[in-house]
Structure formats: C-alpha cells, structure tokens
C-alpha cells in the first residue's frame, strides 16, 4: 500500500520538484562559492549545514577538520556562517589588521541574552560605546596594576590559608603523607580571592562565620557551577531559530531559573554594600575597605544611567566567572603535568629554594625572578588552555582573510588548541617542556590563553598572579607523589574552561624545611 502511494504521479512529481529545488540551491551555492572565492568547506546538508559534523570536544573536531581543509575553512551551522582559523598569521590578520571588523560578538545567543543581562555584560556586549565603557571600567578601575597591588594581601592571605589547612590536614607523619583531592580546594581558593576583591566576603575553608554565611557560600558555589555549565552548553536555537518555540531539553527554563537566582544573589550584595555605605560616615574607613562593588556604586552616584544595578550585576558576574574556574583549571592542569613529570617538579622546587629559600613563602613579586616557574605555567596554558576555542567573534562588515571573501555577520572561531599543538610552530608539540619558553619571547599569536586584540581578557593580569603564587606555594611547601604507578589521566572534560575529566588526586606531605614557615603562617591567620 505504501509503495502504491509512493508511485502515484502526484507524489512522483512533488518528489522531483523537491529534488530539483535542492539541486538548484546547491548548484547556486557552489557558483557563489567559486565567484566570491569563499574558504574551503566540507560537504553540507540542507537546513542544518554542518551541524551534524560537530562532536564534543569541539576544539578536537575542528582540529581534525583543519587537517583536511587547512588552517582556514568555513562552516554553515544552521543559519550562521562560521569561519574557523588555526594559524598565527590568520589570527593576526583577523584580530589585528581586522580587529575592529571582528570586535563584535555573535548576536541572538539565548544564553548571552538571559545570563548576560540582555547582552550588556562585558563578554557578550556588542562593540560600541557601552562595551568601551565596560572595558575602561575593567582595565582602569577594577583590574589595573594599582588595584591589583592594593588587593595583594587578599591573595596572599588565601594562599596562606590553603597551604596551612592542607598541611594541618595531611599531617607530618608517614612517608608519603596522605592522599588529597585538589580541585575543591582550588575552587574555594579562587572563589574566596575573587569574592573578597569584589564584595569583601569569603565563603570557604573556615572562618566563614555564622551558619547562614556557610549556607550562603554553598548556595553561591552551586549557583556558579550551574551558570558555568549552562554557559558551556550548546543551544540548538542559536543556530536553528525555527526551534525557538520548542524547548526540547528545558534549557531555556534552566537558564531563567539560574538567572533569577543569580540576580537575587548579586542584588543582595549590592544592597548590603549600599546600606553599609550609608551607615559608614568614616571616609578613611571606606577607602581602606573599598571593594569593586564599592567602586561601581561610587560611579553609579555620578552616572546612574551608565552604571545601573543591572550593569553592575553583569560586571560582578563577569568578574566571578572569569576569575574562578579559569585559575582553578590552570593550577590543576599544571600540578597534574608536574606529577606526571617529577623531574620537572624537582627543577621547579630547586629554583624556588635557590631564589626564595625556606624562611618565607613565595610572593607575587618573586614571579619575575622565577623563570622556570613561568615556563611551567606557560607550557600548561599551551597544552591545556582554559579557552581552547576563543570566545566567538563576529564580523561587522565584509572583509578579506587569507585571500578569501568573508561575509558580514560571519562568526569567527579561533582554535587556540590547534595552534598550541601545531608541529610547524612548536617543536615536539605534545611534549611538556617548560624550557621552550625560557629563551624566546612569547608570541601573542602563537600562545593564546587569554585571547588577543580588543576583546582579549582584561583579567589576565589577575589570573597570572593567582596561578603563579598558588602553584609556587604548592611546589615550595609540599612533597607530591602520584597515587600508584600509572600516570594521571590528562583527558579534558566538557565545560567552558576545559576542566580535567578526572580531578587530580595525589599523595601530599609537608616539607620539613618549611616547618617554621607553616608555624608563622598559622600564627598569622
């Protein structure tokens, strides 16, 4: 019966019409591609384009495609045109010579709309006066060298608490100490640092105060985890708008719930600071305890429209998201690499012992005198960048990249992962070899952990400080051993900042040489 209906003249004619239409469309697209000199592209399917080719992890999928189609190729993801580049010269052409053209972010991304306060947060805001003001706020008022220097005591206090608490937990007996899991400790460290700088509050690792404060901290940590997960989740509606009426996975509802809870949390912080500012008439006291929220509230008083509550909340969210998981992931990757290469760990410890000694803890200011530690961090960022794909850019007008014609409103994917592991750029690219960074100066188009150009990460200075002092202290204060003979699993997991799939575990023991330092730290906490 079904075969009978298929063979009806009307059905046959309709089928021929559909196939002819598809053939004409594909022929027209092929002629357009030849006429406009578009970048090479894999064969695509009607309606969805190349969406069927994208598998997780996305940076590895795009790396595989680049081996076949070259360092520049194009994809059609539903209704969006995408350009993928994976060579330093092409990155320079996109984000230097054509930096203004690619200074925009893709529009109509549901997550950026809901979680990013309707595209007003610095990471998702379109290029223009509002974004330039947020960038100036970040680089001049919130994350300048002077501001970071003024909050140095916060970072050192949190690192002191980390190493002191770890030493107290594992104790001084036993050949290898005790097995520890580091990710939760590093998350607490990063969140405490950022929250103390932003809001003057710490939530984790003891000293949180009342039960309500501890509960608030746990709620905050879970909320940030949820927002990170949602931010890294692909939403089909972003590429196939026809699906917007059907929320198959409940993703949009989850985003709105997370936004409402996050918004209430940040509004509570703002209200608390505004109330404290009214009650505190001691100008000197306010100056010494000035947090980033205080800074933005001061600006709000003179420019209320520019610094509305939503703008402040979007900025607070951006600072927390950019400053927590990124530092945590980098330190965990670096420590895992060192555990798999104990000879490099020994070299790093010898450098710290020679430069710092064992009478005090490593300090942020010591970083420039520890080139091997710098090399370890750069090598960890090369092999396991927290942003394997830079946050997408979008062209605001037609341009030419690599000799190819690029249309207006084309999304740009920069595959840092591929560049960082390109054998034509890096000798023995999969090898963990910190020495490679000791001689040559860093090329910002070959090593891209924080992006490059106008939309590069304004928090790179803070991230480098947190990572260097944390990693340096862990190397200086403890002996580390792998759990068992097998190397640590270095598989990357899903997520916006490419965390380790398996959290790092190791045997940890305080160094006897550092006992006096531990006692001094404990007395000062």
The binding site for heme consists of 457
Tokens of 257: 């719930």
Distances (CA, A) of 462 to 19, 145, 146, 232, 248: 57, 9, 12, 23, 39
Distances (CA, A) of 484 to 343, 350, 431, 502: 17, 24, 22, 15
- β-strands 80-85, 411-414 pairing: parallel
The binding site consists of 457
Backbone Cα Rg of the chain: 26
Structural contact between residues 155 and 304, judged by C-beta atoms closer than 8 angstroms: no
Residue with tokens 């970083």: 367
Point out which residues pair with 308 in neighbouring strands. none
Residue with tokens 């021929």: 16
Point out which residues pair with 389 in neighbouring strands. 415
Tokens of 135: 């960038």
Among the listed residues 42, 89, 49, 50, the one whose alpha carbon sits nearest the alpha carbon of residue 67: 42
User: Is omega for the bond preceding 57 within 30 degrees of 0, making it cis?
Assistant: yes
Among the listed residues 509, 133, 513, the one whose alpha carbon sits nearest the alpha carbon of residue 357: 513
Query: What does the CA dihedral 71, 74, 77, 79 come to, rounded to 10 degrees?
Result: 150
**Chain center to CA of 336:** 19
- Hey, which bits of 67-198 come out as E strands? 72-77, 80-85, 178-181
């Amino acid at each position: 019966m079904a075969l009978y209906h298929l063979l009806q003249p009307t059905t046959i004619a309709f089928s021929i019409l559909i196939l002819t239409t598809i053939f004409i469309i594909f022929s027209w697209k092929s002629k357009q591609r030849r006429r406009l000199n578009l970048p090479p592209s894999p064969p695509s399917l009607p309606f969805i384009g190349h969406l069927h080719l994208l598998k997780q992890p996305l940076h590895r999928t795009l790396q595989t495609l680049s081996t076949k189609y070259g360092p520049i190729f194009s994809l059609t993801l539903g209704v969006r045109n995408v350009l993928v580049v994976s060579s330093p010269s092409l990155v320079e052409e996109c984000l230097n010579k054509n930096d203004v053209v690619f200074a925009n972010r893709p529009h109509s991304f549901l997550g950026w709309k809901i979680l990013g306060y309707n595209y007003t947060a610095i990471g998702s805001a379109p290029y223009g006066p509002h974004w330039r003001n947020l960038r100036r706020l970040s680089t001049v008022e919130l994350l300048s060298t002077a501001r970071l220097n003024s909050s140095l005591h916060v970072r050192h206090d949190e690192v002191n608490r980390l190493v002191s608490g770890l030493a107290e937990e594992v104790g001084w007996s036993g050949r290898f100490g005790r097995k520890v899991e580091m990710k939760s400790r590093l998350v607490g460290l990063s969140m405490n640092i950022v929250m103390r700088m932003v809001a003057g509050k710490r939530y984790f690792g003891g000293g949180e105060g009342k039960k309500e404060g501890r509960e608030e901290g746990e709620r905050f940590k879970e909320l940030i985890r949820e927002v990170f997960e949602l931010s890294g989740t692909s939403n089909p509606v972003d590429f196939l708008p026809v699906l917007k009426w059907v929320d198959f996975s409940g993703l949009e509802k989850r985003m709105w719930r997370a936004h409402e809870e996050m918004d209430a949390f940040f509004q509570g912080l703002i209200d608390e600071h505004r109330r404290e500012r009214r009650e505190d008439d001691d100008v000197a006291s306010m100056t010494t305890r000035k947090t980033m929220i205080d800074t933005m509230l001061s600006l709000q008083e003179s420019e209320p429209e520019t610094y509305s509550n939503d703008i402040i909340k979007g900025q607070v969210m951006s600072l927390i998201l950019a400053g927590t998981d990124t530092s945590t992931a980098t330190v965990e990757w670096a420590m895992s690499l060192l555990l798999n290469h104990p000879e490099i760990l020994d070299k790093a410890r010898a450098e710290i012992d020679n430069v710092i000694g064992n009478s005090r803890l490593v300090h942020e200011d010591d970083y420039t005198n520890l080139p091997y530690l710098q090399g370890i961090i750069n090598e960890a960022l090369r092999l396991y960048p927290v942003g394997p794909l830079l946050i997408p850019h979008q062209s605001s007008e037609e341009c030419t990249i690599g000799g190819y014609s690029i249309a207006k409103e084309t999304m740009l994917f920069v595959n840092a992962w591929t560049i960082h592991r390109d054998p034509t750029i890096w000798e023995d690219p999969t090898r963990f070899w910190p020495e490679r960074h000791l001689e040559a100066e860093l090329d910002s188009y070959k090593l891209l952990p924080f992006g490059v150009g106008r939309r590069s990460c304004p928090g790179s200075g803070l991230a480098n400080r947190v990572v260097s002092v944390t990693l340096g202290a862990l190397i200086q204060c403890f002996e580390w051993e792998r759990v068992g003979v097998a190397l640590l699993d270095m598989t990357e997991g899903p997520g916006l900042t490419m965390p380790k799939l398996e959290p790092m575990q190791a045997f940890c023991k305080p160094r006897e040489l550092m006992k006096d330092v531990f006692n001094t730290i404990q007395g000062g906490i």
